[in-house]
A and B are shown apart, each in its own frame.
Chain A
Amino acid sequence: MADEPPIVFVVDDDPSVRDGLDSLFRSVGYAVAAFGSVQDFALHRRLERPSCLVLDVRMPGPSGMDFQAELAGMGDPLPIVFLTGHGDVPMAVRAMKTGAVEFLLKPFREQDLLDAVRAAIERDRARRAQEASLAELGARFATLSMREKEIMAFVVAGRLNKQIAADLKLSEVTVKVHRGQVMRKMGAATLADLIGLAGRLRR
């Protein structure tokens, strides 16, 4: 998976711009999937790879802005780089507020576009990495026994072994053993690590 190139999705109704972007992104090593309309793109099954969308704002049918809202409504976090032929400031502001990575005016500078796409892909990659690690953390947490989960909650809350033992009516040694298991299973080296992991799980 890691070796596969990130995918840039291009949606532009102008065939020449579309083909040009397709060629440009491939020439810098991305995989590209280009579409003439947002409807075509929406029908496309996306692979689980870091990706971003380069989207023309103004197209026949639903506009790029409408589509951005639609994706956001579906909870789709795909980062978007907007291209537009019109220098429309309110539109740019709206797009950026709704989470666009960049809003570029045609004709754009190549470097600006590549930088924006790189940033967008990085954003997606970081999000995927975070999601993956969160999923892994969840899986680890799931391996804890009920008792271990209980003890972890106390530990994270800052209570001492002695206090926990008293609370749960256990021996301090038993608490220590459980606590060691929790640290091992959660992959935490220190108490601070464990607190951090618990914080991420809670979010």
Chain B
Amino acid sequence: MSVGEAMRVLDRERFRLGKAGLGLSLALLAAAIFLADTYTDLEIAVAVLYVAVILVSVWFDRPAVVLWVGASSAGLTILSYLLTPRGAEHAGLVNCLLSLIAIGATTYLAIRIEAAEARARQARAELAHISRVTMMGELTASIAHEVSQPLAGIVANGHAALRWLAATPADPAEARRALERVVADADRAGDVIGRVRRMVAKAPPSRETVDMAALIEDVLSLTRSEIRKAQVTLRTDLADDLPPVIADRVQLQQVVLNLLVNAAEAIGQQETGPRDMLVGAATDGERVTVSIRDTGVSLAPAAIERIFDAFHSTKPGGMGMGLAISRSIVEAHGGTIYAAANPPRGMVFGFTLPVRAATAERNHG
């Protein structure tokens, strides 16, 4: 098994096994190298292969782990040299030293890479967070509406209950039904607040099993009033057989939110014509595709090409960050984001995520 192959296998297995499994795989690989190194002649520098173990250990996202793996590899190399029964002493010593230099240099570089990646990850998370909070700010009116709706229900039902109880004769059955609606509305208001809190939470990047349809419904519930304000007729077509994707929930919510708000604005910008939006989610078993079609303004092909670039906005007052961040999030999940015209009018924006996001964890932010 070549080093590249081993890495690819590890890469694939990583999501299945999780970090514990990855650690075990690395330990087995290290043990195999150690045995090969010990049982082959001194002239054969098998110890150089520890470099692979160190590179793979970068996936743990922790410099301390990389350092520890590097040190262990060096220790094992020396141990092998001492235990190897056959071969030329001199060549063996040179090989051993070369291996140690390679291991040391690789460890140093791996830690540097890891630190740079951590910083990039951090910066991306900050940027995404800022953009998310900004967007939630823009949605304030919509969110206020989502809260005022259950509050109106509570006011009406609460007073109704009091009146049913104060009536002569009192009507406890009516009062009870009204109170049940009060409780349901209070829960509903609480849910809205919870969703907002989760959206603006500065949560560390995480990976969890995400039900895409539920996530879309969640975002829709926060934007419903915004969509309504643009007098958009919203339809959803969410397949019920969507496999779960392994993803960062908050970040994907942000992407969906961004595309939804964009679509609503695109429709809101035009005075006449159809005002339809179709939010779809489908799967081919290996990928989940989310698409948002609108009948708003169509963009020219040249504009579509640049639409995901940072600081490129087609909206008056737009920062031009929303789609750029969305793309970086989707790509960090091993997926692709796309935009196209939606003949006869409007646009379709969407993204595709692998069901097993193979190369995501290291890059996400």
State the A residues within 8 Å of B (CB): 14, 16-17, 19-21, 23-24, 26-28, 58-61, 63, 83, 85-86, 105-110, 113
Contact = CB atoms under 8 A, between A and B. Distances in A.
B149 A14 contact: yes
Contacts of B234: 60
Contacts of A105: 148
Given A85-B148, A85-B225, A16 B184 contact: yes
Counting from the closest, the 8 A-B pairs by CB-CB distance are: A20-B156, A107-B151, A27-B163, A23-B160, A20-B157, A85-B145, A106-B152, A16-B153
Contact of B156 (A24, A58, A60, A86): A24
B154 interface: yes
Given A16-B149, A107-B151, 4 more contacts: A20-B153, A24-B157, A26-B160, A27-B174
24 contacts: A17-B152, A19-B181, A20-B152, A20-B153, A20-B154, A20-B155, A20-B157, A23-B157, A23-B174, A24-B160, A27-B163, A28-B163, A58-B228, A60-B233, A60-B234, A85-B149, A85-B152, A85-B225, A86-B225, A105-B148, A106-B151, A107-B152, A109-B155, A110-B156
Nearest to B153: A16
B141 A16 contact: no
B159 interface: yes
Contact of A60 (B150, B167, B178, B228): B228
Interface of B: 141, 144-145, 148-157, 159-161, 163-164, 167, 174, 177-178, 181, 184-185, 188, 225, 228-229, 231, 233-234
A127 to B, nearest CB: 27
Nearest to A10: B156
B152 A86 contact: no
A110 B159 contact: yes
B231 A17 contact: no
Contacts of B149: 14, 16-17, 85, 106
Contacts, number: 90
Nearest to B189: A107
A20 B181 contact: yes
Contact of A83 (B151, B152, B233): B152
A14 B149 CA distance: 8
Contact of A24 (B150, B159, B185, B229): B159
A63 B230 CA distance: 11
A34 to B, nearest CB: 11
Contact of B155 (A63, A85, A107): A107
Nearest to A20: B156
Contact of A63 (B157, B167, B231, B233): B231
A107 B154 contact: yes
B153 A17 contact: yes
Nearest to A106: B152
B154 A23 contact: no
Nearest to A27: B163
A43 to B, nearest CB: 20
A28 B162 CA distance: 11
Contacts of B154: 20, 107
A191 to B, nearest CB: 51
Identify which of A26, A27, A28, A86 gathers the most chain B CB atoms within 10 Å of its CB. A27
Contacts of A17: 149, 152-153, 156
B145 A21 contact: no
A86 B150 CA distance: 14
A106 B148 contact: yes
A19 B157 contact: yes
Nearest to B228: A58
Given A16-B150, A16-B184, A110-B155, A58 B225 contact: yes
Nearest to A114: B159
B272 to A, nearest CB: 15
B155 A108 contact: yes
**Most chain A beta-carbon contacts within 10 A, residue among B144, B151, B153:** B153
Contact of A16 (B148, B164, B181, B231): B181
Contact of B167 (A27, A59, A107): A27
A27 B156 CA distance: 11
Contacts of A14: 149, 152-153
Contacts of A23: 156-157, 160-161, 164, 174, 177-178, 181
